[in-house]
């Protein structure tokens, strides 16, 4: 999955730009200009998606696209963390089974699956591999 959602930029009555995400209503922010609004939008989106994952809800599907909307991606670390959580939930296995597949202590999956716990790339890659997934990197021009 690509962790790119579409944002709506509108003039903020208090000045600057208001940023909302039709598919992630929990993510609302603003910025003084388009560049700041975009950066704050990416941060708000990541926080909202991690919050959704933390309470056990499925991540929203990307439905809103099109004219007047701006594509905003979550940061790479958050995207990988969310990918692990999504893959784990879809797998139907237990945390202890994930630990066994990774050859790690039983408490390791608890940290890896905690949306707010910082996890290094090798552990995320290993967890995804244990869940039958691989990381594919894409680089694009910044907006």
Interval 120-143: pLDDT, tens: 999 999 999 999 999 998 888 876
Number of domains in the chain: 2
Q: How many residues does the chain have?
A: 143
Name the pTM for this structure.
0.90
Is 139 a member of any domain?
A: no
Which CATH number does the domain housing residue 40 bear? 3.30.160.250
**Are both 8 and 68 inside the same structural domain?**
yes
- Which CA distances in Å does 29 have to 11, 68, 89, 115? 12, 17, 29, 21
Is 102 a member of any domain?
A: yes
3-state secondary structure of 44: helix
**Are both 45 and 69 inside the same structural domain?**
yes
Structure token digits, residue 51: 């919050």
**Are both 25 and 82 inside the same structural domain?**
no
- CA angle in degrees (0–180, nearest 5) for 48-53-58: 105
* Host domain of residue 31: 4-73
Radius of gyration over alpha carbons of the chain, in Å? 17
For 41-84, write each residue's pLDDT tens digit.
999 999 999 999 999 999 999 998 888 899 999 999 999 999 99
């Amino acid at each position: 999955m690509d962790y790119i959602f579409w944002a709506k930029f509108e003039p903020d009555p208090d000045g600057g730009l208001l940023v909302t995400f039709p598919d992630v209503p929990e993510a609302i922010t603003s910025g003084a200009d388009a560049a700041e609004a975009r950066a704050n939008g990416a941060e708000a989106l990541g926080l909202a998606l991690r919050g959704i994952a933390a309470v056990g809800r499925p991540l929203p599907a990307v439905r809103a696209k099109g004219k007047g909307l701006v594509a905003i991606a979550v940061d790479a670390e958050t995207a990988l963390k969310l990918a692990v959580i999504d893959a784990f939930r879809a797998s139907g296995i237990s945390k202890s089974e994930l630990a066994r597949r990774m050859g790690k202590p039983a408490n390791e999956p608890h940290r890896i699956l905690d949306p707010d716990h910082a996890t290094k790339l090798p552990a995320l890659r290993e967890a995804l591999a244990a869940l039958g997934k691989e990381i594919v990197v894409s680089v694009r021009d910044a907006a």
